């Protein structure tokens, strides 16, 4: 009687592991870093919307009714962004405020000899220089929000 014994080769398992594990690790790391990038962009977009909202309700009409001065873009930024920018490095954040005429609620336009009040808007653009946690190089995340002056 002959007995056949199967011979297991441990080298094949080591070779397969050496090929599959690094690819799986890189794909998992890429997925995690990509998800963090989407999260950071959503943070920047939320900050832009909230800053535009704050600027739209704290214009000249707000200042007149409350006997104060309208806040400057730097004051608006300081009132909103540091309180909501959890986990962001504020030294990497830049901002731009643009009013289509000024920070009053309306401006007058003359059309066919008729004076018409037209709503003003404020546009806020925030940019954040994000360096991914895997140190894959920097990415600038930019979001713009525009809202009508509403106070």
pLDDT at 73: 94
Mean pLDDT in residue range 6-16 = 74
Burial of 15 (0-12, 13-18, 19+ CB in 10 A): exposed
pLDDT at 150: 86
Task: Spell 104-142 as b/e; 16+ CB within 10 A means b.
Answer: bbeeeeeeeeeeeeeebbbbbbbbbebebeeeeeeeebe
Name the DSSP letter for residue 103. Answer: S
pLDDT tens readout for residues 49-61: 999 999 999 988 8
pTM, whole model, 2 decimals? 0.80
pLDDT at 81: 96
pLDDT at 67: 93
Among 5-14, 33-42, 50-59, 138-147, which stretch is predicted with the lowest mean pLDDT?
5-14
């Amino acid at each position: 009687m002959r007995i056949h014994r199967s011979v297991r080769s441990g080298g094949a398992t080591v070779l397969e592991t050496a090929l599959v594990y690094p690819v799986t690790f890189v794909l998992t790391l890429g997925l995690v870093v990509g998800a963090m990038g989407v999260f950071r962009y959503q943070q920047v977009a939320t900050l832009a919307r909230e800053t535009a909202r704050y600027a739209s309700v704290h214009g000249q009409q707000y200042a007149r009714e409350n006997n104060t001065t309208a806040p400057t873009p730097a004051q608006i930024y300081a009132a909103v962004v540091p309180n909501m920018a959890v986990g962001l490095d504020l030294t990497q954040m830049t901002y731009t405020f643009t009013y289509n005429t000024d920070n009053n609620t309306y401006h007058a336009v003359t059309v066919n000899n008729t004076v018409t009040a037209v709503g003003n808007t404020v546009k806020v653009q925030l940019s954040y220089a994000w360096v991914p946690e895997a140190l894959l190089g920097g990415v600038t995340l930019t979001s713009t929000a525009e809202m009508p002056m509403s106070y």
